[in-house]
A and B are shown apart, each in its own frame.
Chain A
Amino acid sequence: MAEPDDKIRCDACPVLCYIRPGMTGACDRYANRDGELVRVDPHVLLERTLQDGGEVVPFMIPAREWSGDILNAPTPIVTAIGAGTTYPDYKPAPFIVSSKVDGIDMVTVVTEGIYSYCGVKLKIDTDRHLGPECATVRAKGEPVGHVTTGEYGSQMLSLGGVNHLTHGGKKEGRVTCETLLDLCSRKAVELTVDGGATVIVQAGLPPVVNGETEERMRVGCGSATIGMFAKQWYGKVDEVVVVDDHITGVLSEHQAGKLLGARDTGIKMKGRRSTPGRYFHVAEPGTGWGGANISDPLEIVAGFDKKVAWSGLTMLMVSTTGEQHAFYRLDDSLNPIEAPLPDTLRVSVERIRENCEPALCSVLFMGGAGGSLRAGVTENPVRLTRSVRQALTTVTAGGAPVIVWPGGGITFMVDVTLLPDNAFGYVPTPAIVAPIEFTMRLDDYAVLGGHVDHVRPLQDILDERRKKSADRDTMLAPARGEA
C-alpha cells in the first residue's frame, strides 16, 4: 500500500480527487504517475485491446443496432483501412482522431498511404530449387521481382519495388501492382522463375512447386540430420546418406558416426567434400530429393571402395524431410540393390518427418512513408520520423504491429496475415494503397507540428461511419483475430 504522502490532489474538477500512485481519479482521465498528475498513457488502449483478442477492426462494432453509447462501449481502435486519402498528401490526413470520451487524450493519425515505393518479401518454406539467385520472377509473363538470398529451409523472393512499379513498361507496372495486391490480400498467385520453377504462393498456406504441394520444412541440413539421428541409426544400419542439395551428410564419415564408432563403409560420394561426412554440390539444385535435381538417390553415389566395403552392407538414403527414402543392400559385386525398409529404420524416417514443421508461404508487405504521406500527418514531416525513432509515436498498419527499419525515413514491414480482410487497395498510378496509423499523445502531436485543428473526437468518426454504414455495410472490414 502506498504511503499517504504519495497521493496527489487533482484539481481538474470540483470532485478534487486524492489519487494514489498508479491510480486514476473518479473520471478515469487523470492519473498519478510517480507523484505527477498525468493524462492516462495513450498506448495502453491499443495494447490492451490487442491483447484481449485483437478487436482491431475500426469504426464500429458490427451487429449492434442500438447506438453503442448507451452501452458504454469500449474504445475500438481506429485503423486507417478505408480512410481514403488524397495524393499528393498535402492536406491533413483524412482522420486525425482524438478520443477524449473514453478518458484518454489519444491521437491516432489515420491515413491510407499510397506506396509507389513498396513491395513484398516472400519466404517460401521449401528446399526445392525455385531458381538461381538474381533470376527474374514473373507473373503473367511480366517481370515483377527476383530470387534473393536463401534463408534457413526457405527460398526468398523479393517482389515489387519502384523499378517494377514505375520504371518498367506500362504492363509491367500494372501486373506488378496486381501481384502485390493479390499477395497482400492473401490470394493465391502463380509465379514463374526464369530458369527455375513455377510456384503458387498464398500467405499462410503451403507453396505449390511445379504442381506439387510442399508439405514440410526440412528438419535441418543433411549434416545436421545425421547429428540428430546418428544414435538412432547406429547398430541398425551400416551407412546412412541424408540427401540435401546444400549439405549432404554421410553417417560413417561424419563426426557423429565416428564418435559412436561407426565402421568405414568405403562409400564414394559425388560432389565436393567440405569436412568429413559433409558434401557440397552432390548434384544440381532441383525439385527432387532434398532440393536436388535427382529422382534416383544413387545418382549421387560414385561407388564403393572394394577394399573397404563388403557384401551385404546395408544403406539408408533419406531426404531432409523424410518424405523420400530408400534402403539398399550391397550384392556380391558391391552394387546397391534396393530392398524393403526394415521396420527398425522406418521409425527414424517417420521421426524425421514428424520433426519437420509445416511448410508455409509468408508475405511481408514493405513500404516507406514518404515525405508527402508524412506531411499529411504533420506540417514538419521530419519530426514525425524523429518521433517514431524516439518511440513517442507508435506505427501500426491496419492495427497490426510493424517492424520499422532503422535508418532514415519510416520504412516498415508487416505480416499481411495480421491485417483485416480487404485492407489493401491500389490506384492506377500504379501503386498500392495500404493503411498506416501513427499513434501518439495529443500534446506530443502538437509539439511535432500536427494538424491539431483537424483533430476530431473518436465518437464523431464512429457516428459518421455508423450513418454511412447503414447504406453500405460492405465498407466495413469484417472482424478478424478471434482465431
Chain B
Amino acid sequence: MRILPQQSRLPDGRLHLHDGPIDLIIEAFGEVAAVETAYAAAWRRFAAILDELCAELPLLREQATSTGARPSGVVARRMADAVAPLCVARFITPMAAVAGAVADEILRVMTIGAKLRRAYVNNGGDIALHLLPDESFSIGMVDRPDRPSLIGSAMISGRDSVRGVATSGWRGRSFSRGIADAVTVLASSAAQADAAATLVANAVDLPGHPAVGRTPATALDPQSDLGERPVTIDVGPLAPHDIDDALTAGLDEAERLRRAGLLQAAALRLCGRTLLCGAEAVQTAERLPVRSKCEVGQRMENLAV
C-alpha cells in the first residue's frame, strides 16, 4: 500500500517532509511571510519528487558514461550532471547523488519566490545550503551514526562557494566500497558533495586486507546499483600503518577531485584518525569550542580503541 508523502511542522517551526526513503528537515531564515512561502513551495515540489525519480530508476541505477542516455526528470538530471565529471575511470551511477540532488531541488524551489537570508535542506545528512553573502552556517561532523560525537566543525560563509555538504561511509545508510567511517565533503552543491563523498569514501580502502569483510551488494539488496561489486560489511582492528595507508589513498582521491574543482574540502575519518583536504575550510575536534572539547576527546579515545 502506497503511503503518501507527509509533511509536519516541528514545535520550533522547522518543516519535516517524508516520503519512502526520503526524509527532509528544512529550515529557512528571513521574514515570516517569506519563510512560509518557501515552506509551501518545498511541500508542493516534494509531493511529486519520489514518483518522478522512480519512473526513471532503472536508468539511474546504471553506470554513468559520457555517451549514455540522459534522464529527463529535473532531479534525475541533477544526479546525472553531478556524477558526469566523475565517471572517467571510476564506476559511479547517478544514484550516488540522489540524496543531495533532492535537497538541491527543494532548496531551489524555496528560493525562487521568497527572499531568504539563509536556509538549509537536510536530506539524512546530505545538506543543501542557501546563504546571502554576510550569512554563515556552522556544520558539525559526526563520523559514526551509531555513536554520536562531533569530530569537527566547518564554518561556511555566504562568500564561500560551498553550498552543499555530504557524508559517506560504510556505516551509513548507503553501501560503501571503502572502509572510511565517514568522509564529509564540502562542495558547490549537495548533489556534487554527495557524489564526491561517495568516491572519496570508496577510495579509503585496503584492498585484500583480511580484517575487512565484504559481500556482493546484490546479496544485501537485489536491486543495488552496485550489482555484484563487493561492499564493506565489517572492519576489524587495523594497525596504525593500515589506517594511514587507507586514509592516504582516500586523500589522493580527494586531492584529485579538489584540483578538478569538484569539491572544496573533505574530512576523512577512519578509526579515530582524521585527514583533511582543503584544511582551511574545516576545523577538527581539537579546535572545537572548549565547552565540548572534553567530551569529544573522550569519545575520540573510544573510537581509537
Contact = CB atoms under 8 A, between A and B. Distances in A.
A55 B51 CA distance: 38
Interface residues of B, number: 50
B67 interface: no
Contacts of A467: 11-12
Nearest to A482: B298
A25 B222 CA distance: 10
Nearest to A461: B11
B255 interface: no
B20 A12 contact: yes
Contacts of B291: 63
B148 A61 contact: yes
Nearest to A70: B122
A71 B11 CA distance: 19
Interface string A4-20: 10010001111111111
Contact of A70 (B120, B145, B219): B120
A13 B50 contact: yes
A17 B142 contact: no
B21 to A, nearest CB: 4
Interface in B214-230: 219-223
B1 interface: yes
Contacts of B221: 17-20, 23, 26
A20 B222 contact: yes
A11 B21 contact: no
Contacts, number: 119
A390 interface: no
B302 A53 contact: yes
A350 interface: no
A293 B23 CA distance: 71
Interface in A453-472: 457, 459-460, 463-464, 466-467
A62 interface: yes
A230 B193 CA distance: 73
A66 B140 contact: yes
Contact of A14 (B10, B27, B54, B127): B54
A101 B23 contact: yes
B57 interface: yes
Interface in A9-64: 11-20, 23, 25-28, 48, 52-53, 55, 61-64
A25 B1 contact: no
B231 to A, nearest CB: 13
Contacts of B21: 13, 15, 25-28
A1 interface: yes
Given A26-B20, A467-B12, A14 B1 contact: no
B206 interface: no
A72 interface: yes
Interface in B45-83: 50-51, 54, 57
B148 A69 contact: no
A71 B125 contact: yes
Interface string B266-305: 0000000000000000000000010110011010001000
A74 interface: yes
A73 interface: yes
A228 B57 CA distance: 73
B16 interface: yes
B241 interface: no
B189 to A, nearest CB: 16
A14 B20 contact: yes
B223 A12 contact: no
In the complex, which of the residues B8, B16, B122, B221 has the most CB atoms of chain A within 10 Å of its own CB atom?
A: B221
A463 B296 CA distance: 23
B51 A14 contact: yes
Given A460-B10, A463-B12, A73 B142 contact: yes
Interface string B129-150: 0000000001111100111101
B2 interface: yes
B148 A71 contact: yes
B292 A64 contact: yes
A100 B220 CA distance: 24
Contact of A74 (B20, B139, B146, B289): B146
A28 B173 contact: yes
Contacts of A15: 20-21, 50, 54, 57
A70 B140 CA distance: 8
Interface in B250-274: none
B124 interface: yes
Contact of A13 (B3, B141, B173): B3
Contacts of B57: 15
Interface in B88-140: 120, 122, 124-125, 127, 138-140
B1 A12 contact: yes
In the complex, which of the residues A27, A70, A71 has the most CB atoms of chain B within 10 Å of its own CB atom?
A: A70
Contacts of A11: 1-2
B223 A17 contact: yes
B19 interface: yes
B122 A69 contact: yes
Contacts of B120: 70
Nearest to B5: A13
Contacts of A463: 10-12, 14
B215 to A, nearest CB: 8
Nearest to B57: A15
A20 B150 CA distance: 34
A70 B127 contact: yes
B25 interface: yes
Contacts of A23: 220-221
Interface string A439-483: 000000000000000000101100110110000000000000010
Contact of A48 (B54, B141, B146): B146
A7 B221 CA distance: 9
Contacts of B292: 63-64
B173 A464 contact: no
B123 to A, nearest CB: 9
Nearest to A26: B21
Q: Lowest 9 A-B CB distances belong to which pairs?
A: A13-B20, A72-B125, A63-B292, A14-B54, A27-B21, A69-B25, A26-B21, A18-B222, A70-B122
Given A26-B20, A71-B140, A467-B12, 9 more contacts: A13-B2, A14-B54, A15-B20, A15-B54, A18-B222, A20-B222, A71-B141, A71-B142, A72-B145
